[in-house]
Amino acid sequence: MKVYPWVWKGFVVWYVFGVILVGFDLLPPWLEWANPVFLWLAGIIGGTILYQSVRYGTVVVSIIFFGSIAVETIGVKTGFPFSDYIYAEAFGPSLFGVPVTIGAAWLAVIGSSFAVARQFTFAYRTLILVPFLAVWLDMAIDPVAANVKGYWVWANDGVFYDIPSQNFVGWFGVSLLFSYLLHRTEQASDDMYMAHGVYLFVMLHALFGVTAVHAGLEGIGVLSMLTTILIFVKRRNRHDRGSQKEMVQ
């Protein structure tokens, strides 16, 4: 995909400015449109990672994109499976009360979680790890997006930064369905896409971590820092083992 390298480079540049402007609450009102653009770029990267790493890539990516919007629509209308909430007008055009951009956000989360899961080698790694990783990422996203930025508003409170516990259970359940689909269709993929997916996961966690610390939610910052350390240690060990095997051969 000749366009993809430019998408990745554009995302990295956009990300650097995002960490500064969003992370430190310096984004002027006339630049609020940059948030949906950031999510779309992240979603394109996540979707490309999945497209290149599974059979029937177009079908799988479409199911995750439109399926997540459908589930979010049910959530907004009924409170299931995430608890009661409403979206603010911050993400562009909406469909049945759900910004279409949310589909891109789900692709970014699932695609990056999938790439991190692929760093492991045990059986059923995708099926087991993707739901946990998606929830782990949402634990950084949701407190910032809801409590700091006001992108959506919860009707109920919870023990984790006032986010309803049902939200994380719902995230796990929906991500488990998507991970089962990925588990059944995954195939070998270019290491570049997997590397970008790992970077995307860390970058998203870091962005929300910086924003959280600046807003006084230090626990999220600690969570993001530990995530970055653990993932890069795991990736470094995996790379070292690969190098040792090449030397033996």
Residue spans per domain, the chain: 32-239
Q: Are 175 and 110 in contact (CB under 8 A)?
A: yes
pLDDT in tens, the chain (249 residues): 689 999 999 999 999 999 999 888 888 888 888 888 999 999 999 999 999 999 999 999 999 999 999 999 999 999 999 999 999 876 778 888 899 999 999 999 999 999 999 999 999 999 999 999 999 999 999 999 999 988 899 999 999 999 999 999 999 999 999 999 999 999 999 999 999 999 999 999 999 999 999 999 999 999 999 998 988 887 777 655 554 454 444
Distance of alpha carbon 51 from alpha carbon 55, whole angstroms: 8
Task: Specify the pLDDT at position 184.
Answer: 97
pTM of the model: 0.93
b/e burial code for range 228-248 (CB count within 10 A of at least 16 → b)? beebeeebeeeeeeeeeeeee
Backbone angles phi, psi at 192, to 5 degrees: -60, -40
For residues 126 and 179, the answer to whether their CB atoms sit within 8 Å is yes
CB distance 233 to 88 below 8 Å: no
Dump the DSSP string for 33-74: THHHHHHHHHHHHHHHHHHHHBTTHHHHHHHHHHHHHHHHHH
**23 near 16, Cβ under 8 Å?**
no
DSSP-assigned states of every residue in 178-189: HHHHHHHHB---
pLDDT score recorded for residue 71 = 97
Nearest to 207 by CA among 137, 146, 159: 137
Which pLDDT score, from 0 to 100, does residue 242 have? 54
